[in-house]
Amino acid sequence: MAFISNGSSIRVGQSSPHKLGLNSTQRVMSLLILATLPGLLAQIVFFGWGSLVNVLWCVLIALGCEALALTLRRRPVRSCLSDCSVAVAGVLLGLALPPFAPWWLSLVAVSFAVIIGKHLYGGLGQNPFNPAMLGYVLVLISFPQEMTAWLPPLGLEGHNNSLGDALSAIFGQGVDAVSMATPLDVLKENSSLTINELWQANPIFDGMAGRGWLWVNLAYLAGGLFLLWRKVFTWHAPVGMLAAITIMATLFWQGSGSDSHGSPMFHLLSGATMLGAFFIITDPVSGATSNRGRLIFGAGVGIIVYVIRAWGGYPDGVAFATLLMNMAAPTIDYYTQPRTYGHQRASKGLPKKD
């Protein structure tokens, strides 16, 4: 009975399970960041060093804002920062913003995302909207000119890609970078040329979805498959979104004439499709939570993305679609509970009052 008498040798009341798995939020978030690397690499290759500078700058702002918000909220700064969740938001915004986005644009987007989008709602796990997309939409609406200034996908033979150029473009006075519309822009603005003529007129867009964009999307797809393999998230949301885009793009393709909306392949591999499917809408906090819910959530995003691309006012719509579906997520959750063991059917909706 030395056990009870010397007291110190035993801990009090630990609840089962007594041993936990090795999973941790930090691990999940680190894997996410790791999985963005192929995409980041592809963006650096095709759009220059701006993307890398952007990502680093955005992460720095994100960490700073998080530390500030945590201090104001009197929460443990170190342990919360170490869960890496805010770094993910920073990385995603850095990847989503145009490569030569000026420093203040990133500052506005990221600080809004972290302070308003995340901490005002109560911090990690409490935010109803995807913080990165909130920040993105804010600057997209407020600064449309800066936000549409994408660089031409020059690739390795490009000349405006030096690190110095990127730094001065972002933090300095800016350089005379040749800004250029993205393939989605070109297709949207087009009303007279057939697809073949259009592609010939813009040789830089050869390939299925424009040279750079195709590879960037494939890189994000690779990163996403890696995350699926590591079971960071389930396949439901990405498959829902990609399937919905494919179906919509097939239904409303309208061939290759001048009123074409582009082929399904074009839509799958251009713009932010893959980044959105695997890195944005898989954010568990603001998405639906059951497997079936995630499938519906993803499909909703896919449909809205296509609607915006084909008939809306913006060339791409991943950010808007994500926010709209974020609003629908709680309702989706209520109607997509899985069928519990031993029950005939799944419970739906709200609990009945008496």
Partner 1 sequence: MNAQTNLIASSERKIWPLTGGVHPEENKHQSTTRPIGSVPLPETLVLPLSQHAGTPAEPVVAVGDKVLKGQLIARASGVISAPLHAPSSGVISAIEPRPIPHPSGFSEPCIVLSTDGAEQWCELTTIDDYRQLPPEELVAKVRAAGISGMGGAGFPTAIKLSSGLSIRTLIINGTECEPYITADDMLMREQAQTIIAGAEILQYMLGADECLIGIEDNKPEAIMAMRTALSQSASADKMEIVVFPTIYPSGGEKQLIQILTGQEVPSGKLPADLGIVMQNVGTAVAVKEAVVDGKPLISRITTLTGAALQTPGNVAVLIGTPAHHLLQHAGLQDSQLGTLVFGGPMMGFSVERLDIPVTKTANCIIAATRSEFPEAPDPQACIRCGHCAQACPASLLPQQLYWHAKAENYEQLLHHNLFDCIECGACAFVCPSAIPLVQYYRASKGVIRTLEAKQVKSERSKARYESRLARMAQESAEKEAKRQANAERAARLKAAKANEQPGVVEEDPIQAAIARAKARKAATAGQPARVELSAKQKELRFSSLSPGHRLKRLRRRSAQHRLLAMTPRLHG
Q: Environment class of residue 328 by beta-carbon count within 10 Å: exposed (0-12), middle (13-18) or buried (19+)?
A: middle
User: Under the criterion CB under 8 A, does residue 85 sit at the interface with partner 1?
Assistant: yes
- Subset of 22-81 contacting partner 1 (CB under 8 A): 23-28, 79
User: Under the criterion CB under 8 A, does residue 83 sit at the interface with partner 1?
Assistant: yes
Nearest CB to partner 1, comparing residues 21 and 313: 21
Separation between Cα atoms, residue 131 and residue 112, nearest integer Å: 8
Separation between Cα atoms, residue 58 and residue 28, nearest integer Å: 20
DSSP 203-259: GGGTTTT-HHHHHHHHHHHHHHHHHHHTTSS-SHHHHHHHHHHHHHHHHT--TTSTT
Query: Rounded to the nearest whole angstrom, what is the least distance from the CB of residue 337 to partner 1 in the complex?
Result: 6
Query: Rounded to the nearest whole angstrom, what is the least distance from the CB of residue 353 to partner 1 in the complex?
Result: 8
Nearest CB to partner 1, comparing residues 110 and 237: 237
User: Under the criterion CB under 8 A, does residue 120 sit at the interface with partner 1?
Assistant: no
- C-alpha distance from residue 233 to each of 228, 279, 280 (Å): 6, 10, 12
Q: What value does the CA radius of gyration of the chain take, rounded to a whole number of Å?
A: 23
Candidate residues 48, 121, 211, 285; the one interacting with partner 1 per rule CB under 8 A: 285
User: Under the criterion CB under 8 A, does residue 148 sit at the interface with partner 1?
Assistant: no
Query: Rounded to the nearest whole angstrom, what is the least distance from the CB of residue 160 to partner 1 in the complex?
Result: 39
Candidate residues 67, 108, 115, 124; the one interacting with partner 1 per rule CB under 8 A: 124
- H or E element, residue 318: helix 318-335
Binding residues vs partner 1 (CB under 8 A):
1-4, 9-21, 23-28, 79, 83, 85, 123-126, 231, 233-234, 284-285, 287, 289-291, 294, 333, 337-344, 347, 350-354
